[in-house]
Amino acid sequence: MTSLLEVNNVSLAFRQRTGFFSPPQLIPAVKSVSMQVREGEVMAIVGESGSGKSTLAKLVLRLLMPDTGSITIDGRPSGTLSPRDFANLVQPVFQDPYSSLNPKRTLAEIIQMPLIVRGGVSAKESEDRARELFGRVGLPMRLFHTYPNQISGGQRQRVAIARALMLRPKLLVCDEPTSALDVSVQAQILKLFEELKQSFGLTYLFISHNLAVVERIADRIAVMYRGEIVEQGETKPFFAAPRHPYSRMLLSSVLIPIAGRPLPVVSRDFETLGNGP
Amino acid sequence: MSPLLNIEGLRIDIPGHAGVLRAIRGISFSIGEGESFAIVGESGCGKSLTAMSVLGLLPRSAVLSAETMSWKNQDMRLFGRRQWSHLHGLEIAAIFQEPMTALNPVLPIGDQMIESFLHHRLGDRKAALSRAGELLERVGVVPVGRRLRQYPHEMSGGLRQRVMIAMALMCRPKLMIADEPTTALDVTTQVEILALLKELQADTGMALMLITHDLGVVAHVADRMAVMYAGEIVETGSVASVLSRPAHPYTRALLSCLPTRGQPLIPIPGVVPALIGELEGCIFRNRCGFAMPDCASQIPEREVAPGHAYRCLLARDDTGSTTDSSAAPLEAFQ
């Protein structure tokens, strides 16, 4: 299978001004990251806050530009794609469904927006597609003309997903799409992602801080730590035997609902092993 | 020994345009000294509202009634402003989910920490600052001198939650209410904060009322628990008993939708019903794989073990003996 997304040696550092006269400090966020995501695959990026996983997502979404390295989407350098072509290929789903939906527009308008911006279809076609997707993501039709504040967090995330699918993209970049949701709603949304992947032949770049969440959905896992991918591999062997001490720590931090077990010890000993800041 | 907090038959109604929202309907629980009690449930089940009622911070429109609502054998319903204000911070302290919004962004954290200490006249500013310093050191927010002068935005989420915990401990409370204390945090930071809470509890002997939707957190922190669904407690008991022998279909469903290594993930179909108007029978029946016509009638309380009770028509064995087998009917229901 061909790679839909290729990230080659990408680095990005943020510049922070510490004082008016002092030169800006460079804070590396993503350091020489390389990975390939094949078509139809779910690639999970896992790490703590500050590990650079959201920065990587923004780089893939072209919300940020890399300092060095290149990103190829569907065989073409991502930077050379027109915004329209890019939007036809890649769409985002963000973490917080409360801030990612415009509160002053109805759900119908929100979902159709990508298509309205792109143009090329009649209003009727656009609404038909929105209605179809509305049902596909499991939203009741009576909510079609309501506003985001009238629906729950889980429903909002479904709206965000429907909107992302409007242009029939190939790649969905999902940045912590279930972290703001209840466990039961999270399970519903994860199931929805699985179903949509099957029926639309989607590829996901799925970002999370919780390894337990991605275990079911991911085909491959990349663990990020301080801007670098420290371990990358197929899901099954990864969970059977994570190699990097940081991966092991992330995995042991998942709390299992069995009483009487001590809390896992979060040991950051490996920070002194040369991976330091 | 009488419990620290004893609540029986608590009801909270919130009048609205569409009718009266019966947010909490007759829940009972008690928390003993030094005990960890967890309330588990989804958003909107009323767990935070329950916490707010214990803090006397219900919205003005809410109508509260209870058979018993007592703090150290004093009737909380009779408390005036002065007694509530005495209770706040001094005897009951609270930490909330969002350490970003719970702290005042325009005050250095030192000034925020000493507020309740000074309000309750436990000492002068110097004594307050030295206690704040001790506590920051205890929760691992160092170097203390610099941290006291920092503003909330200069700290990470985990550090802010540590500051919140230290602030809650300023007046040596008897009960700490932790409302989703780790939900906004990374899994690794969550483990660190929970470990800290447990240590502090062992040190100070305070009781903990933990509010969460995560059964994994409950398993590692609480002694006893109540599972809430749509304003009712559907199952309660020791954490060991409830988690090893869950009886109510909702508890089972909640367990099977938690992403756990190697277990299938089974979502609960449907959504929480609207709680407006008169509600009869089992409130979970529209989402339950075992629902039958009798579920619309009064539901008796059944006992699994002493202290472990649940509300359901079915015996525990009939609601499926493992989490896996309870999954099948739920799946079929979809």
- Residue A78 Cα, gap to closest chain B Cα (Å): 31
| Chain B residue nearest residue A48, CA to CA | B186
Q: Would you state the pLDDT for residue B99?
A: 65
Q: Which of residues 145-174 of A touch B (CB under 8 A)?
A: 152-154
With cut-offs at 50, 70 and 90, classify the pLDDT of residue B326: very low
Beta strands, E only, B202-292: 207-212, 224-229, 232-238
- Examine the domain organization and report whether B104 and B87 are in the same domain: no
Summarised one tens digit per residue, pLDDT across range B280-308 is 899 999 889 899 999 999 898 999 999 99
Question: Is it the case that residue B327 has pLDDT exceeding 50?
Answer: no
| Cα dihedral B79→B85→B87→B89 (10° resolution) | 160
Q: Which comes out higher in pLDDT, residue B183 or A70?
A: A70
Summarised one tens digit per residue, pLDDT across range A169-217 is 999 999 999 887 888 888 889 999 999 999 999 999 999 988 888 888 9
Q: Quick check: is B16 in a domain?
A: no
**The two three-digit tokens of residue B80, written as one number:** 């005036």
Q: Quick check: is A277 in a domain?
A: no
Q: Quick check: is B265 in a domain?
A: yes
Q: Quick check: is A23 in a domain?
A: no
Mean of all residue pLDDT scores within chain A: 90
Q: Would you state the pLDDT for residue A275?
A: 43
- pTM for the model: 0.85
Low-confidence ranges of chain A (pLDDT < 50): 273-277
Q: Would you state the pLDDT for residue B15?
A: 92
Q: Would you state the pLDDT for residue A268?
A: 73
The upper half-sphere exposure of residue B219, i.e. CA atoms within 13 Å in the direction of its Cβ, equals 22
> What is the tally of structural domains in chain B?
2
Cβ of A253 within 8 Å of Cβ of B259? The answer is no
Of B156, B240, B259, the CB nearest to A259: B240
Cβ of B257 within 8 Å of Cβ of A258? The answer is no
With cut-offs at 50, 70 and 90, classify the pLDDT of residue B323: very low
Q: Which comes out higher in pLDDT, residue B43 or B86?
A: B86
Of B188, B216, B258, the CB nearest to A48: B188
Write b or e for each residue in A41-61: b if 16 or more Cβ atoms lie within 10 A of its Cβ, otherwise e.
bbbbbbbbbebbbbbbbbbbb
- Residue A9 Cα, gap to closest chain B Cα (Å): 27
Question: Is it the case that residue B318 has pLDDT exceeding 90?
Answer: no
Residue B143: cis peptide before it, omega within 30 degrees of 0: yes
Cβ of A212 within 8 Å of Cβ of B194? The answer is no
Which of B172, B189, B221 is the last residue before a domain boundary? Answer: B172
Residue by residue, DSSP assigns B71-119 as ETTEEGGG--HHHHHHHBTTTEEEE-S-HHHHS-TTS-HHHHHHHHHHH
| Chain A residue nearest residue B195, CA to CA | A263
Give me the percent of chain B exceeding a pLDDT of 90.
58
Of B187, B220, B257, the CB nearest to A209: B187
**Structural domain of B208:** 34-62+78-91+177-334
Mean per-residue pLDDT, B113-134: 93
Mean of all residue pLDDT scores within chain B: 88
- Residue A238 Cα, gap to closest chain B Cα (Å): 12
Q: Does B73 touch chain A (CB under 8 A)?
A: no
Mutant choice from A18, A49, A182 vs B, greatest count of B C-beta within 10 A: A182
> What is the tally of structural domains in chain A?
1
Question: Is it the case that residue B312 has pLDDT exceeding 80?
Answer: yes
Q: Would you state the pLDDT for residue A270?
A: 66
Q: Would you state the pLDDT for residue B261?
A: 61
Q: Would you state the pLDDT for residue A24?
A: 83
Give the CATH number of the domain where residue A214 resides: 3.40.50.300
Which of B143, B172, B201 is the last residue before a domain boundary? Answer: B172
- Examine the domain organization and report whether B280 and B188 are in the same domain: yes
CA distance B263 to B89: 42
Mutant choice from A192, A216, A235, A263 vs B, greatest count of B C-beta within 10 A: A263
Residue A106: closest CA among A148, A157, A161, A43: A148
The secondary element (H helix, E strand) that includes residue A75 is: none
Give the CATH number of the domain where residue B206 resides: 3.40.50.300
Residues sharing a CB contact under 8 Å with residue A268, sequence separation 6 or more, in sequence order: A249
With cut-offs at 50, 70 and 90, classify the pLDDT of residue B134: very high
With cut-offs at 50, 70 and 90, classify the pLDDT of residue B34: very high
With cut-offs at 50, 70 and 90, classify the pLDDT of residue B332: very low
- Examine the domain organization and report whether B199 and B303 are in the same domain: yes
Mean per-residue pLDDT, B162-174: 92
Question: Is it the case that residue B331 has pLDDT exceeding 80?
Answer: no
Contacts of A250 in chain B (CB under 8 A): 187-188
Q: Would you state the pLDDT for residue A236?
A: 92
Cβ of B244 within 8 Å of Cβ of A209? The answer is no
Q: Would you state the pLDDT for residue B324?
A: 41
Q: Would you state the pLDDT for residue B219?
A: 94
Cβ of B240 within 8 Å of Cβ of A260? The answer is yes
Q: Would you state the pLDDT for residue B220?
A: 94
Cβ of A266 within 8 Å of Cβ of B218? The answer is no
- Examine the domain organization and report whether B86 and B136 are in the same domain: no
Q: Would you state the pLDDT for residue A272?
A: 54
CA distance B129 to B118: 10
Mean per-residue pLDDT, B65-89: 91
Q: Quick check: is B70 in a domain?
A: no
Mutant choice from B48, B187, B217, B330 vs A, greatest count of A C-beta within 10 A: B187
Cβ of A215 within 8 Å of Cβ of B186? The answer is no
**Structural domain of A174:** 3-16+34-272
